Amino acid sequence: MARVTVNQLADALEQLQAQMAEISRRLDGLEAHNSGAIAAPPAEPAAPAPVAMQEPASAALTEEQLLAIAAAIGAFLGVRVHIRQIRLVSSGAWSQQGRVSIQASHTLHA
């Protein structure tokens, strides 16, 4: 296993911070472009804004799970998203397809 020095870690951390600042700047520019405003480059990277969320109707999803879902959707769409509602839609289709798959894998003897 290769040894890593403190200076190498510090350099890697600086590179990561610079990349995060660039990503934050680009994200702010994209959001401003989508809203029709002209983006001014921030003086320093903005800290993430606190997320004001209402308590979920059911305790099925935690705040961390909601944040993860919002982050995944935002990464996919390329914009910051605000989740208004999440509904768990239950359907028997998944379980039925699982049973069909299992039953189809059995060899029938005649």
Q: What is the pLDDT of residues 35-56, one digit of tens each?
A: 765 545 555 545 555 545 444 4
Contact 46, 24 (CB under 8 A): yes
- Long-range (24+ apart) CB contacts under 8 A made by 18-25 are 20/45, 21/45
Q: Are 33 and 60 within one domain? A: no
Contact 60, 76 (CB under 8 A): no
Q: Higher model confidence: residue 91 or residue 37?
A: 91
Dig out the tokens for 60 from the structure.
């099925």
pLDDT band at 105 (very low <50, low <70, confident <90, very high): confident
Q: Are 55 and 99 within one domain? A: yes
Host H or E run for residue 25: helix 6-35
Q: Are 67 and 110 within one domain? A: yes
pLDDT value for 37: 52
Structural domain count of the chain? 2
Average pLDDT over residues 59-75: 85
Average pLDDT over residues 53-77: 76
DSSP alpha helix (H) spans, the chain = 6-35, 63-77, 93-105
> Would you say residue 64 has pLDDT above 60?
yes
By residue range, what is the domain housing residue 101?
Answer: 51-110
Amino acid letter for position 15: Q
